[in-house]
């Protein structure tokens, strides 16, 4: 059925299709009977899927990556589809419209997306109001830099967002790896990243809630730079690293080069990212050992991909593009298969898959 619905949605411009589908989901999940039935069917309850990480308990290791619910307007509805956690944002200290449209493109032949959204969001203060109060889902918040803020004021900008959201977040992510804000990826250099992380860390330490703090890195970093960021995360005693964001590379695509070029600049996501994202995950895990958690994201399309990331050392995994192409049963199918494999192997938990070296 989703194949038919997807065919209809894919007739629409990608960003409009996203908005239509997201509004429809929120409207349906606002109906108590439908919401209860969907949650009863799709939400993970198998104890073998539970993961303890970041000082939290996740009902499943599979989460939805930042970018889908930029303004924290539908995290409750999304959690009802079987995700173990939802990461909202990217949010900035100041509201901003993002880049001019069109800014989201499908490469259907590659089951991929190109986006240059530019951190369009309503701002940290509005998000805070939407995250107040009790909630059933684990919700992380992805923090980005406001576009108009100069690089030398980046630490203060991230600090401002963290101050607004620290008491309503289950974990915080410093995102310096999106390719769609000019100069943002420059902040991945250790000398520029350190003051940002220290500023946000200071907010976390002085908060009552004390959410876990992570940093999100790009797949396009050189191996030496991946090591340097991992070492910094260890030095500052962060909770973990998210590997990886989208890529600016265009290698390995089946889509005609003319169509790819017509999409323009932006971050590429989907299966083409799989190999590099996995390599970065392994490198980070090897570097940090068991001292930090590592969240894997990039190119995860099915249970085989999820299983491979868990075996490679991921504590948790996130998806985005796979969900767009896979539909509302995507998380449920992966959860069911992961639980089946754990049970067949006689493992006590998913952590038993982690590499021992």
Q: Which residues are catalytic?
A: 178
CA distance 56 to 162: 19
Distance of CA 285 to the CA centre of its chain: 18
Query: What is 63-115 written as a DSSP string?
Result: EEPTTSSTTSSSHHHHHTTT-SEEEEEEE-SS-B--SPSP-EEEEGGGTEEEE
CA distance 140 to 64: 10
**341 in Cβ contact with 22 (< 8 Å):** no
**281 in Cβ contact with 259 (< 8 Å):** no
Kindly report whether the peptide bond that precedes residue 26 is cis, defined as omega within 30 degrees of 0: no
**29 in Cβ contact with 75 (< 8 Å):** no
């Amino acid at each position: 059925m989703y194949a038919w619905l997807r065919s209809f949605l894919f007739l629409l411009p990608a960003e409009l299709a996203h908005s239509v589908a997201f509004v429809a989901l929120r409207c349906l999940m606002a109906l108590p009977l439908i919401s209860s039935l969907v949650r009863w069917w799709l939400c993970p309850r198998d104890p073998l899927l539970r993961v303890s990480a970041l000082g939290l308990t996740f009902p499943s290791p599979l989460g939805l990556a930042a970018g889908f619910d930029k303004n924290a307007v539908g995290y409750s509805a999304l959690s009802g589809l079987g995700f173990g956690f939802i990461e909202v944002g990217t949010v900035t200290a100041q509201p901003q419209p993002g880049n001019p449209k069109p800014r989201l493109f499908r490469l259907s032949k590659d089951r991929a997306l190109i986006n240059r959204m530019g951190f369009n969001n309503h701002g940290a203060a509005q998000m805070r109001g939407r995250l107040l109060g009790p909630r059933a889902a684990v919700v992380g918040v992805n923090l980005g830099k406001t576009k108009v803020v100069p690089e030398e004021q980046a630490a203060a900008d991230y600090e401002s967002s963290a101050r607004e959201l620290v008491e309503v977040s289950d974990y915080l992510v410093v995102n310096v790896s999106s390719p769609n804000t000019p100069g943002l990826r420059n902040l991945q250099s250790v000398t520029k990243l350190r003051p940002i992380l220290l500023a946000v860390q200071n907010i976390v330490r002085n908060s009552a809630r004390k959410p876990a703090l992570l940093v999100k890195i790009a797949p396009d970093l050189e191996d030496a730079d991946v090591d340097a960021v991992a070492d910094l995360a260890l030095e500052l005693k962060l909770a973990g690293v998210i590997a990886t964001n989208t890529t600016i590379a265009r290698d390995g695509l089946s889509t005609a080069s003319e169509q790819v070029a017509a999409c323009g600049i932006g971050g590429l996501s989907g299966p083409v990212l799989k190999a590099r994202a996995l390599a970065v995950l392994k490198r980070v895990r090897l570097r940090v050992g068991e001292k930090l958690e590592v969240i894997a994201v990039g190119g995860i399309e099915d249970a085989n991909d999820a299983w491979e990331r868990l075996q490679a050392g991921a504590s948790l995994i996130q998806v985005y593009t796979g969900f767009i192409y896979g539909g509302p049963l995507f998380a449920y199918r992966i959860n069911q298969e992961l639980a089946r494999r754990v049970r067949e192997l006689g493992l006590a938990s998913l952590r038993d898959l982690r590499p021992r070296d």
